[in-house]
A and B are shown apart, each in its own frame.
Chain A
Amino acid sequence: MPDLLIELFSEEIPARMQSRAAADLQKLVTNGLVEAGLTYASAAAFSTPRRLALTVEGMLDASPAVVEERKGPKADAPEKAIEGFLRGAGVNRDQLEERDTPKGKILFAKINKPGRPAAEIIAEVLEQTIRNFPWPKSMRWGSGSLKWVRPLHSILCVMSAEDGAQIVPLEVDGITSGDTTFGHRFLAPDAIKVTSFEDYEAKLARANVVLRADARGETIWNDATNVAFASGMEVVEDAGLLAEVAGLVEWPVVLMGNIADDFLGLPAEVLQTSMKEHQKFFSVRNPKTGRIEKFITVANRTTADNGATILAGNEKVLSARLADAKFFWENDLRVAKSKDGMATWVKALENVTFHNKLGTQAELINRMAVLARELAPMVGAEADEAEAAAKVAKADLSSEMVYEFPELQGLMGRYYASAAGMSDAVAAAAQEHYAPLGPSDDVPTAPVSVAVALAEKIDKLTGFWAIDEKPTGSKDPFALRRAALGVIRLAVSNGLSLDIKSAIEEAYWLLLNQLNRNNRLYDIGSDEDNESDAYVVSAWPHQEAELYLGPSHNGVTEVAYDIAEWSAHITPIAQAPQFLEILAFLHDRLKVYLKDQGIRHDIIDACISIPDGAPEGATPQNDDLTLLVKRAKALSETLKTDDGENLIQGFKRANNILTQAEEADGVEYSYGADVKFSETDEERALFKALDEAEAVITPAMEKQDFTTAMSAMATLRAPVDAFFDAVQVNSDNGTVRRNRLNLLSRIRTICTSVADLTKVDG
């Protein structure tokens, strides 16, 4: 049972690609071996900045011989056809066998495939693996045509067994396999001959290369925490940085350095970002002061001066970086505290494009301010404060610090808004209005932050829909799915009942007005008599139209239109296709959101489809997402019970009979069921059960307590089942039949109060 060792030695592999590449190497090679019949006991792959390595243990030394049978032509086929078959199968005439089949006598060839030695298979598989390696980005070098992530220098491929080791010979574009590798680039650069994986790992360790990335990571973290602890400090955890740094070194040496006193006054986040992004340093915090006071850098080597030169160099580079950051911070604070304060920055955003069809960042801020004001009462915020917060929320985009470190947007806004004397709520909104950014990060709870966060996202959805930049397939360049999920999580986590429809309508109206002022839009109008209605022309913004100048205010002349003349072309916003699509998009995202919480699609559909005032068959317009989630959760819980699940059957049976009868009779059976026309106990029991359930459900629904309503509904399962078992609805007696249909109608009404159960599977 031989073992296999492979190493692909190259110039420095980007840290972010290493672990994936090791896994790919293992997968491609072992799959290839198994496909060729070489099974093995175990395998493991490793990576360092300069190498990918793979060990495969307990491999067969040859693939097993197999006998393959191949079906040929009929026995009486023309000679030429038979000869062709012989050639193709590589067999002689006497290796053919004639067999009776339902289609007559057919020739079969038996082909003996002898096993192949492992080395031959390995060479083939490894060459294929190298030539087809799935690097995210690869390159050519020199005069060759081989592609690798960076120039590939050597291929080590050794098979070892009790009787010794042998090189598996192969050649890929001039690189011949061997049994040597190299140690650390500077500390032990000489060639090393190896015989097995154990030998390889041990010799590399002696040549200052730690093969295992997790071992390098562990060393870094342990040494870092120890050295920090020794000075009474703690290292700020950062798993992503740790993994990256472990991919930048073969021989990690942790060094702790000082941050010059000049820079200790910078916000901790600025220090951390600057040190992490530019220098890959860990931040070291003094628990007594709570400040970041030192840094940890990880060198790739030991030196005679114990890293003194390296540390001095790193401290110097950091000082230059932080001098820049300090310069930005102080300049920014000066602006924020000046007479015009952050307004200076907002003004500068008039020249910064948000999107070329949607205008500038300053215009975005204006729309957000109005929207935040509108949304404020719905989220419990004070309208003036929400508007003020929206106006400064993006001001920091003009600051020097954010220009240099875009990832600090929002956070710097919070610092600067505080410095400018804004309230804590306004300052917090500057940071929090971007949230939530993903499915699992924190959702803001402060009302002002929620108002601005919603305004930002609703404007974004509306704007990009209006200019037809919707997500398609896997493409979502403007992160609209994230924006929609943000709206959902903001509403649901905070238990808010939002009138999203009117917010979208408002966002639309704001955008249209702005585009109109900019002469970017030609056809829009407002009906004088009905100012609340905004109209959108289906073909905008390409359609030319006759413009009428309207009244001026704030120096802007409104453009008005002869609504009557254009009435054929305009639609109220609330019925514009874009508008309805946004709601449908929110519903889609809601389904994904709830599915992640274990709630089935059909359940969500059932809740979305409850009557909402939209015409039959039109896009559902239920926009109170919190209520929808409450309904879906209650329904989902109920359906997990036996009664709940079976109630669906009973309900559907009732609904089918009723619908058929209504269609046949051309009437709607909606009320008037009377217990006095009951003929059986089961009928009377159902009346009683419905009365009892209704007595619980009606007040529960008023309180939006869907869980109670659903449990009451589930109690109907037994009486409904008993009713259908005992009673024929379509009685010959017309009065009895009508009474029973009206009874079924009560079931329908009750059962569809929380959700449209016809949409539920089962």
Chain B
Amino acid sequence: MSQTPEKNQSIAKPKSFQAIILALQNYWASKGCAILQPYDMEVGAGTFHPATTLRSLGTQAWAAAYVQPSRRPTDGRYGENPNRLQHYYQYQVLIKPSPPNLQELYLGSLEAIGINMDLHDIRFVEDDWESPTLGAWGLGWEVWCDGMEVSQFTYFQQVGGHDCHPVSGELTYGLERLAMYVLGVDHVMNMPFNDPDALIPLTYADVFKQTEEEYARWNFDTANTDVLLRQFEEAEAHCKMILEQPVNDPKTGKRIIMVHPAYDQCIKASHMFNLLDARGVISVTERQAYIGRVRALSKMCADAFVQTRAGGWSEDAA
């Protein structure tokens, strides 16, 4: 086992938000991860991507990395707060089984984005992870660079109520915060999105200031709560209906369990809940009930996934 961080050949200090993202993509590609694209639905965190939630279940090996746009309606501040956004990017890495040198691989990724390991103080500080809506938990750390939290590092122990065997190692980088740190920017909106020397240099504000305002207004004051509530309930019913279908498709005669379409509905319900929460129409007691309803859907999807080939099911074993 190597105790030294994975050294990178040449480290050019990145000058923009996108350069950091590209460096991470290249780094994890070079370490053998499949570079996936963002999931095409509204999610609260990169963990919701089926490449993490579902693929962390079952026995099949897996290694993927991707950027995931994430939405947290309650965190919207009209683009005014230097650190808070209702829409932001997470970088997510999931490797199953977790390799013994995952910490070193991770430290290598920090070097890859221009953090000089000889000058900074990197620390692994206890931080256990739990997602009540996903029925998931794991143990790990938040990683500090000079007192700044730059990533979450988690060994998944349970997802959707299922014990994880083997265990996945999950890394989550809050990209805006990490990039602001590396680039030395104090307000997210001032961060160079592309190369500041480009023909048309764009800041984060150029790309997202207006959308932050629009969504903040919509999230907090305008979203129609009756519609959201109805959509929550429709997604919930839809998810259950999909999973109630017989395993064998009557048309093709094939065994097709529709886990991903069902899980899409679970993601949708979760997002509707987040929007309702931002509108302030969910009381403390109701909150728990809603979370429980989403968790029930996640659990049903997890139960179904382990009955599929990607989830480790095989004809011979069955």
Contacts and interface: CB of A to CB of B under 8 A. Distances in A.
Contacts of B283: 351, 353
B103 interface: yes
A314 B82 contact: no
Contacts of B1: 153
Given A11-B103, A137-B128, A185-B3, A300 B123 contact: yes
A304 B119 contact: yes
Contacts of B98: 141-142, 151
Contacts of A14: 126
A15 B117 CA distance: 23
A202 interface: no
Given A142-B97, A317-B148, A323-B82, A305 B119 contact: yes
Given A15-B126, A323-B82, A353 B97 contact: no
A40 interface: no
Contact of A300 (B121, B138, B186): B121
Interface in A254-301: 279, 281, 297, 299-301
Contacts, number: 111
Contacts of A380: none
Interface in B50-86: 82-83
B155 A317 contact: no
Interface in A533-582: none
A190 B147 contact: no
B139 A150 contact: yes
Contacts of A151: 98, 100, 155
Interface string B2-44: 0110000000000000000000000000000000000000000
A137 B139 contact: yes
Contacts of B118: 186, 303-304
Interface string B281-294: 00111000000000
Contacts of A351: 283
A728 interface: no
A421 B181 CA distance: 42
B181 A313 contact: yes
A548 to B, nearest CB: 31
B146 A313 contact: yes
B205 to A, nearest CB: 18
Interface string A5-24: 00000011011100000000
Given A143-B166, A186-B122, A309 B138 contact: no
Contacts of B148: 313, 316-317
A277 B285 CA distance: 28
Interface string B175-197: 00000010000100000000000
A189 interface: yes
B217 interface: no
A352 B167 CA distance: 40
B119 A310 contact: yes
B230 interface: no
Contact of B82 (A49, A304, A320): A320
B3 A140 contact: no
B176 to A, nearest CB: 13
Nearest to B169: A141
A11 to B, nearest CB: 6
Contacts of B125: 12, 15, 248
A318 interface: yes
Contact of B146 (A15, A305, A314): A314
A415 interface: no
A11 B285 CA distance: 39
A140 B100 contact: no
A65 interface: no
A49 B121 CA distance: 15
A7 B193 CA distance: 48
Contact of B126 (A16, A153, A304, A305): A16
Contacts of A189: 3-4
A150 B128 CA distance: 11
A237 B82 CA distance: 33
Given A139-B138, A151-B100, A299 B121 contact: yes
Given A142-B167, A297-B147, A353-B285, A186 B117 contact: yes
Contacts of A318: 147
A12 B124 contact: yes
A182 interface: yes
Interface string A129-166: 00000000111111100000111010000000000000
Contacts of A310: 119-121, 146
Contacts of A352: 284
Nearest to B126: A14
A639 to B, nearest CB: 51
A191 interface: yes
Contacts of B103: 11
Contacts of A309: 116, 119-120, 146
Contacts of A356: 285
A281 B1 CA distance: 34
B210 to A, nearest CB: 23
Interface in A11-59: 11-12, 14-16, 49
A713 B283 CA distance: 63
B157 A313 contact: no
Given A139-B138, A310-B120, A323-B82, A191 B3 contact: yes
Contacts of A150: 139-140, 155
Nearest to A191: B3
Contacts of B139: 137-139, 149-150
Contacts of A185: 3
B145 interface: yes
Interface string B103-136: 1000000000000111111111110100000000
A563 to B, nearest CB: 34
Contacts of B82: 320, 323
A300 B146 CA distance: 10
**Which one of B83, B146, B181 has the greatest number of beta carbons of chain A within 10 Å?**
B146
Nearest to A142: B97
A141 B155 contact: yes
Contacts of B232: none
A314 B147 contact: yes
Contacts of B186: 316, 320
B141 interface: yes
Nearest to A255: B121
B157 A317 contact: no
A317 B148 CA distance: 6
Nearest to B2: A189
A311 B100 CA distance: 32
Contact of B284 (A297, A312, A353): A353
Nearest to A14: B126
Given A182-B3, A248-B123, A320-B82, A140 B145 contact: no
Given A138-B139, A353-B285, 8 more contacts: A137-B139, A139-B157, A248-B125, A304-B118, A313-B146, A317-B146, A323-B82, A353-B283
18 contacts: A12-B124, A137-B139, A141-B98, A141-B169, A142-B100, A143-B165, A150-B155, A153-B1, A182-B3, A189-B3, A191-B3, A297-B147, A299-B121, A303-B121, A304-B119, A310-B120, A314-B146, A352-B284
Interface of B: 1, 3-4, 82-83, 97-100, 103, 116-126, 128, 138-141, 145-148, 155, 157, 164-167, 169, 181, 186, 283-285
* 3 pairs of A and B residues whose beta carbons are closest in the complex: A313-B146, A14-B126, A12-B124
